[in-house]
Structure formats: structure tokens, C-alpha cells
Structure 1
């Protein structure tokens, strides 16, 4: 009867704790708010640390930042002038003439774009850099979403393993009770074996979850660009907030995925401005020096010549520029349509995330009610142990229900935060 007495002491302790809980029931809301605030702060700090580490170490982000730096460097390239042209000519064969001949000539010519063209090139290069920076922002937000998703999945796997440990320990207690019941005729050996088989099944399930956890942990470590087996600190408890965070659909307008289309549209505008500038003439200035041989025909003391030159290139055929204008117009129309398609897709994702988050809360609440009812059913079964024979098959059935409800509740918490992370991505 030692095991029975142990069980009765545990039950008494539980009743004592229930009495103490009743003392604090009036301040339940205050305690819950304080707990959630402290918990949310710790969770946010841990997640933010992981996200910042991912932003710093992730190779894809680093690659995009290097590409952005290369795109930004094109602004300096756009500000440069065409190469200066130098020409040197030497008289190889001199004809026999009475007039003086040139020994050699040297010229230099610098072509210049039409006024405002360099500014247009710089503006176009700057618009490309802006679009590239938005791409980095999108990649970082997607990486943060991936880190959050893996983190919450790791939490669920960890929490489910803890639940399995608790149920394995509980089955051990039931096994001791069953063994004692066998001695006094309140249970059968078959029931003891069924309890042991159930423990083996839970041990197997826990081992499978552990393997899933290691694989998920390796995936998160890959996002952080560190060793696959590096341990990750996961919070012990993840509770649903009392009220859901509001995400207005108007917030989609500032989503980087949509802002990127505005940047692309602006870059096409700048490309067309540059195209119009390049339709204008190009001009250049230069100097030419001619060194002449001595001749009695030259009466001036300056026998050499220095000429100032002016060059002008006029684009008489504008078909390429007209075609480029048409291409830019079509590209802008395509971007406008593509942006609308993407906007509609984001609105659909927003609606789905809100619905799934609410479904997760409903499921969580339902499982909470089911757990309370299953707990009452278990108490009724265990109460019969004090007065007579207990059917451990019924205990196993109720225990299986409890385990299923707890597992589903953890899944509901995970799904809630996964959809919350999706909403955070959609609405900056």
C-alpha cells in the first residue's frame, strides 16, 4: 500500500495547490499581463539576436550587399567623361616642294556629352542602386521570417518532447500502481504489460522528435552560417497573447516587395530621361600642334601652327532611341501590371494568415477545454483506486487523449506564431 499512500499524498498536495491558486484568482489578469510582458521581452531579445546574427553572417545577404556596392559604384562611373583622344603624325616621305612641309603634328580631342547628360546618367545609376537596396531589405525580411519559422518549429518539437517525458513518467507511476494492484487483486498482469508497451511507444515517439529537432536545428544554423550541431537556446514556454495584434491591410502599401516596383518604375523613368539626353548632339574641343620645317617662305618668327578644334556629332538617325522609348513605355506598363498582381497576392496571404491565426487560437482554446475534461475523467478513474478495482485500460485511453490534446495544443501555439511571423513580414 506504500504506492497508494504516495498517490494519496500527491493528490492531497494537488488539492493544497488548488486552494492556494484560488487566493490569486482575483488578480489573474494582472499576473498574466506581467508574465506575458516579461516573457515577450525575453523571447524578442533571443529572436532578435538570432535574426541579427543571420543578417550579419548569411552568405546570401553578404552577396547581395556586395552587388549593391558594385551597383552604387556605377554612380562614379556615370560621372566620368569619354576617353581623351590623342593623335601623333610624322611625315614619313616628304615630297619635293618649294613650300614648307610639316615635320610632325600632335592633336588632342575631348568629346563631351550634351549638357545634362552626365546628371541623367548619375540619376539612372542611383535609381538602380536604390532598387538594389530594396532587394536587400526584402531578402533580410525573408531571412527573418525563415529564422522565426524555424525557431517556432524548434519550440514545438522541444515542448512536445517535454510533454512525452511527463507522460512517460506518469505511465511509470501508473505502472507502479498497477503492480501494487496486481498484488492486492485490483489489476491484472496484462494491464501492466500494456502500460509498459505504451511507455515504449512514447519513448520511440520522443526519439523521432529528437531527430527532427536536430535536423531543424541544423537548418536554422545554416541560416546563421555556423556549425550544424551548434545548440540554440529556445524558450521553455510560449503562451498566446490575450489580444491579437492588429494588422490593417493598408499596411501592405509599404511592404518592400511593392516598394521595389516603385523603384524599378523610377529607374525606367530615369532610363528614358537618359535616352532623351543621348538623342542630343555630342560635342568636343581639342588642340592640334603642327611642327613645320624651316623655310625661306616663312617670314614670320612663328613657323609652327596651333589650331583650336571644335567637333560636333549629330545623331541624324533616331530609330534606336525611338525604339528604346517604346521599350521603356512597355516595361513601365508591365511593371504596373506585375505590381498589381503582387499586391493581390500579398492581400491573399494577409487574409489567409489572419484566418489561420484565428483558427490556431480556436484550436488552442478547444484543446484547453478538452484537457480540463480529460483531467476530470482521469481524477474520477484514479478516485476509484481508493475504493476498489481500477481499469488501467481506461486509464490508458484517457492518457492517450490527454497526450493528443497537449500535442495539438502545442501545434496550435506553433501555428499561431508562424502566422504572426507571416503577418509581421507582410505588414512592416
Structure 2
């Protein structure tokens, strides 16, 4: 075998190995890195951007003049009454040829209105693309917060489980020494099994949250997700004023922007339908060729006669109803957005206050109660039920803390979706 094919095969194999050995991209750890990746790589958002660009590209053609028309008429192609021996299709060898060039001219203002209607459609498409991104970003933020909640719950569950194993060991030691009952050791073991079951469920929920995040990123290949490392800081209370947020919502909410563009398009559409009361004009010029010369010129002027008044009134009524529907839809969306904003703001305030109560009061008290109950149980001053109750109080306090922090992040994401921007 010649060496050239062998060398070529080795190079191809080396190239394939190099591509296979490309390092994978690692993202995650913070919600900002996930959002940045999704903005550049998510196929649905890319499709929305492409649709907005397509709508923008329709604006200029909407107001352009229609293409002119060229018509050719060949007269007396059979050469009846002429000296020619037979029929022909060449203009110099028939009776005459007539050429007509015509251009349709819409009534004054129609082209501008058509362009404005298309421009409103482009603005609506851009607003929908922005709304689609906010929806995607909100879902990423929510699932990131849920994943962080699951991981924090898993960490606390493992700590609680280790603590309960210590309690179970104490119960077994007391039972072996004759100071405790077998029932205490059995109850401790049952509690451990229940906690291990909860831990397995939490780990499953965490894996599901990670899978949802990967799906929201477009299921990228050669990408590994880091687990959430931190939550976003909450804005100061001064930025969470309802009046200020309501003003930002009215100014930046993409759904309302799309509604405004739809209203503008409906208004311009109504004006365009009203202009249909006036005729369009068609101008033309027509030279006639006889043999090898142009023997005459003709000018043409044509208009359409707007006689179908019943049809036109129905179109005008349709345009009015479309405008009314667009305005009512915007009002309905505004009311819904304000209601959701108020609800999310109240939920954020409750979650923030709950975190403060748990952090400063409930959690430290539960830890003190458990330490005191453990010490008293080891000395035989309280029964096992007191220890178990104190341990459950600590677990409940930790769960409330994790849930409150997760709720704050979820409410914050919902508020940012309503106001259309980051806080």
C-alpha cells in the first residue's frame, strides 16, 4: 500500500479524536450565566427574533408602488388584406403591434397608511419577542430558585439525619445501659428511615429541576451545568414601592407594548379603510407599431368606481370593532398585570418578613431547644418524645427558612416579568 493513503487516514483519525476531545463548556452556578447562555443559544428566542426581523422587513414593501404592467397586442397576425403570404408573429410583418405600459397609483395617503400599519405590526412583533424572552428568563429564574431550594433542603436534611443518628445512638446506649426503653431506640430508627425517604425524594426533585433548566437552555450538547451556588440579592425595600413599580410596568411591560402597537395598527387600518372611499388611479401610455415605425401614441387614464357601499360600510365597521377590541384587550391585560404585580409584591413582603422571623427568632430558639433536650435526655431528665419534638421543630424551622428564601426569588422573578426589566 502506498504511504499517502495511510498518512491521510491517520490525519483524519487524529482530527476526529481532536474534535472528540474538545473540552465541555461549564455554565451555571449563578442565574446570570444561565440567562446569558439562553439569550444567545435558545432556539425559540432565536425564532422570535427572526420573526421580528421579518416583520420589520415588510415595512418598506408595504408602502411601495405596485410594479408597472406591460401588455403587448399583436393585431392581424394572419395578414388578412395584406401582401404577406401567411400568418406571422413578428411585429414588422403583421398589421400592427400595440404596446401598453401602465402604472397603478393608490389614492393620496394610502401608501403611507399601509407603511404605518406594517410598522405597527413590526413593533408588535418586537414586543412579542421581548415578551417571549422575559417569559423564558422568568422560567429560568424560577427553576434556578427551585433547584437552589432543593439543594439547600438536601444539605439541611443530611445535617438533620446526622443529628438524628446521634440521637438514635444515644437512645441505644441508654437502652443497653438499662436507663432507656427499647421503644425509644425503635422510634429513633423509624424517624431515621422516614428522613432517609424524604432525602431521596429531595434528591429526585433536585435532579428534575436540573433537567428542566437544561431543557430551558435548549438542551445544549457538550455543556455541563454547575449546581446553583448563590441566590440573587434582593433589591432594597425603597425600590419595591407599588406606585413606582406600577409606573415602570406601564412604561416597560412588553405585553402592553404589543397591545399599544396593535392599537396603533388598528387605528391606521381604520384610516386606510376610510380612504377606500376614494378611487385608485391607473395611468398608461401605449405606442402602436405599424411595420417598422411607431404610427401613433395613446394615453390611458383609468379609475375604479367605489360603488359597493354596503361592502365598504361593513369593512369600516370591522375596522372600528378591531380597534375597540384592541383597546379593551389592552385594558384587560393592564388590569391583570397590575393584579399580578400587587400579588407578587405582597408575597415578596411576606416571604421577607418570614425569613427575618425565622432567622432571628425561630431557628436559634429551635437549635437551643434541641441542644437542651439532648443534654437533658442524656442525663435522664426528659423522655425521648421531648427530644423528638425538639428535633422536628428544628427541621420545620430550617424548611421554613429555605422556603422563604426560595419564595422571595420566585416573587422577584415574577415582579421583574411584570415591570419588564431587572430590579
Please, what TM-score do these two structures have when normalized by structure 1? Answer: 0.78
Q: Distance in 2 between matches of 1:293 and 1:227?
A: 71
Could you tell me which runs of 5 or more consecutive residues in structure 1 were left unpaired when the two chains were aligned.
Answer: 1-43, 295-302
1:263-282, aligned counterparts within 5 Å?
263-282=261-280
User: In structure 2, what is the equivalent of residue 177 of structure 1?
Assistant: 170
Q: Distance in 1 between matches of 2:262 and 2:54?
A: 18
**Residues 203-258 of structure 1, C-alpha deviation per residue, up to 9 Å, x if partnerless?**
11111111111112211211110159953431257887774741433333122222
Q: Does structure 2 conserve the Cα–Cα contact (< 8 Å) formed by 1:187 and 1:389?
A: no
1:142 matched to 2:135 = yes
User: In structure 1, what is the equivalent of residue 396 of structure 2?
Assistant: 404
User: In structure 1, what is the equivalent of residue 87 of structure 2?
Assistant: none
User: In structure 1, what is the equivalent of residue 189 of structure 2?
Assistant: 196
User: In structure 1, what is the equivalent of residue 374 of structure 2?
Assistant: 382
Q: Does structure 1 conserve the Cα–Cα contact (< 8 Å) formed by 2:279 and 2:303?
A: yes
Pair 365,54 (structure 1): closer, same or farther in 2 beyond 3 Å: same
Q: Does structure 1 conserve the Cα–Cα contact (< 8 Å) formed by 2:266 and 2:326?
A: no
Pair 279,197 (structure 1): closer, same or farther in 2 beyond 3 Å: same
What's the C-alpha RMSD, in Å, of the aligned pairs? 3.0
| 1:166 to partner: Cα distance | 0.3
User: In structure 2, what is the equivalent of residue 84 of structure 1?
Assistant: 68
Q: Distance in 1 between matches of 2:378 and 2:168?
A: 16
User: In structure 2, what is the equivalent of residue 41 of structure 1?
Assistant: none
- Alignment match of 1:223 (pick from 216, 224, 227): 216
1:256 matched to 2:247 = no
User: In structure 2, what is the equivalent of residue 37 of structure 1?
Assistant: none
User: In structure 2, what is the equivalent of residue 328 of structure 1?
Assistant: 319
1:355-366, aligned counterparts within 5 Å?
355-366=346-357
1:62 matched to 2:50 = no
Could you tell me which runs of 5 or more consecutive residues in structure 2 were left unpaired when the two chains were aligned.
Answer: 1-27, 84-93
User: In structure 1, what is the equivalent of residue 332 of structure 2?
Assistant: 341
Q: Does structure 2 conserve the Cα–Cα contact (< 8 Å) formed by 1:61 and 1:140?
A: yes
1:291-302, aligned counterparts within 5 Å?
291-293=289-291
Pair 236,181 (structure 1): closer, same or farther in 2 beyond 3 Å: farther
Q: How many pairs align? A: 376
1:314 matched to 2:304 = yes
| 1:363 to partner: Cα distance | 3.1
Pair 65,363 (structure 1): closer, same or farther in 2 beyond 3 Å: same
Structure 2 SS opposite 1:231: strand
| 1:419 to partner: Cα distance | 1.4
Q: Does structure 2 conserve the Cα–Cα contact (< 8 Å) formed by 1:104 and 1:291?
A: yes
Pair 304,346 (structure 1): closer, same or farther in 2 beyond 3 Å: closer
Q: Does structure 1 conserve the Cα–Cα contact (< 8 Å) formed by 2:104 and 2:283?
A: yes
- Alignment match of 2:295 (pick from 300, 305, 309): 305
Pair 119,175 (structure 1): closer, same or farther in 2 beyond 3 Å: same
- Alignment match of 1:414 (pick from 385, 406, 415): 406
Structure 2 SS opposite 1:315: coil
| 1:141 to partner: Cα distance | 1.2
Question: Which one is further off, 391-400 or 217-226?
Answer: 391-400
Pair 316,175 (structure 1): closer, same or farther in 2 beyond 3 Å: closer
| 1:167 to partner: Cα distance | 0.8
